[in-house]
Amino acid sequence: MALDDLVDAIGNALRELDHRQRATAEGVAGVRAKLDALIEVLAAKEVLGPGNQKHLERCGQGGSDARPRVRLRTLDADKYDMVHGEPVDCADRMPLCKGRCCKLTIVLSEQDLDEGKLQWDLQEPYVLRRGKDHRCVYQDRGTGFCNNYEHRPATCRAYSCRDDRRIWLDFDNKIPAPPVLLADENDDLSAG
């Protein structure tokens, strides 16, 4: 099997895993809601009382809040038809912010995978690959700008750092946020 075929096979398997994880999560959420309702009914009817407190607490803890290992961004539209977030003069601001948004996590979409123009991290499937410096592999380290701008993901297309406190303390006065606000370099770009 050729390397390209193997990469495609792994990509397709991970995509299927993502779809199944989403379906499973939805199913678990439905069962969880029914269980919570049942516990409330049994507690109200005093079938479950103080003697069952440890069991109720254990049930109340629910599942893990850990992120799924495989993530894929869902899009309702073609990324090339997307309207960019509020415009920012990056050329003017790059000397100050140093392209800090390129340190944030970008989850790719199926469209990105189908195009095959963006590399993703094998340890975090469908997360845009980053270099050892935790910056996007497409960020030009000299200028700070994107070397793959034409094919950038939908998240990058829709993003504006204008109101992102991880990037700017005061956008209008060009005061960048201190590095501590970007302490978790794995923050999702969409979380701003």
> Is 37 contained in some domain?
yes
Beta bridge mates, 127: 107
Task: From 34, 61, 88, give the residue that closes a domain.
Answer: 61
- Do 175 and 117 sit in the same domain of this protein? yes
Count of Cβ atoms closer than 10 Å to residue 161 Cβ: 24
Cβ-proximal residues to 107 (8 Å cutoff; 6+ apart), any chain: 71, 72, 73, 126, 127, 128, 153, 155, 188, 190
Residues 139 and 167 in one domain: yes
Instruction: Check whether residue 106 and residue 53 sit in a common domain.
Output: no
Residue 158 or 61, more confident: 158
Number of domains within the chain: 2
Beta-strand ranges (E) seen in the chain are 120-121, 124-128, 168-170, 175-176
pLDDT higher at 130 or 22: 130
The pLDDT assigned to 186 comes to 47
Cα–Cα dist 170/176, whole Å? 7
Share of the chain above pLDDT 70, in %: 79
- From 151, 95, 144, select the one nearest 128 (Cα to Cα): 151
Query: Tell me, what's the pLDDT at 192?
Result: 44
Could you read off the pLDDT of 119-173 as tens digits, one per residue? 998 888 899 999 999 999 999 999 999 999 999 999 999 899 999 999 999 999 9
Structure tokens at 82: 């997307």
Average pLDDT over residues 33-37: 74
Residue 19 covered by a domain: yes
> 29 in a domain, yes or no?
yes
- In whole numbers, what is the pLDDT of the chain averaged over residues? 82
Domain ranges, residue 164:
79-191
Are the beta carbons of 106 and 189 closer than 8 angstroms? yes
Mean pLDDT of 101-108: 93
Q: Is residue 96 part of a domain?
A: yes
When pLDDT is averaged across residues 85-90 and rounded to a whole number, the result is 85
Same domain, 83 and 47: no
Residue 66 domain-assigned (yes or no): no
In this predicted structure, the answer to whether residue 182 has a pLDDT above a threshold of 60 is no
Q: What is the mean pLDDT of residues 179-192?
A: 55
Give the CB-side neighbour count of residue 112, counting CA atoms within 13 A: 28
